[in-house]
Amino acid sequence: MNKAYKYLLILLVSIIVAYYNSGKEEAALSGLMPVSRVVDGDTFWAEDGSKKGVKIRLIGVDAPETRDSNYKKIGFYGQEAKAYLTDLLDNQEVRLEYGVDSLDRYGRVLAYVYLSDGTFVNEELIKNGFARVLSIPPNIKYADDFVSYEREARESNLGLWQRESE
């Protein structure tokens, strides 16, 4: 292959890559992404400039399931956890802080999530009893804090912990 074809090929690949990433640059520059929909109490979709968007799984938290699957059953307080996260994220933009591992085995983006006003979403879910702590190394940056918040929620019989006091 002669030099002209090599340069043309490099130029073409560069244009394709720039086109593919063009929508993502705007989101990255602002640092904020609009939330498009909530899946359950620990997973949601946000707009990152791509056609489909990005599916985000909150690091360090595990909300009860909202539907039956082959592996898991609907959990106590699952619908309430989803409703709480929906209310928290409704018409909001979020900033992501990535963990050491940025994707889970399902291809979801793993992140600590903050609202534009600074509210730490992962923390709020645990503090208010809508999720349990789920620490999976190496993403353990806030694990100790989350364990403390869970203990306080459990001792106060908040959210999913109220079952134990009934």
Task: Kindly list the catalytic residues.
Answer: 57, 65, 108
Using an 8 Å Cβ cutoff, are 56 and 111 in contact?
A: yes
Closest C-alpha to 135, from 158, 101, 94: 101
Using an 8 Å Cβ cutoff, are 123 and 141 in contact?
A: no
Say which residues have a Cβ less than 8 Å from residue 126's Cβ, sequence separation at least 6: 60, 61, 132, 133, 146, 149, 150, 153
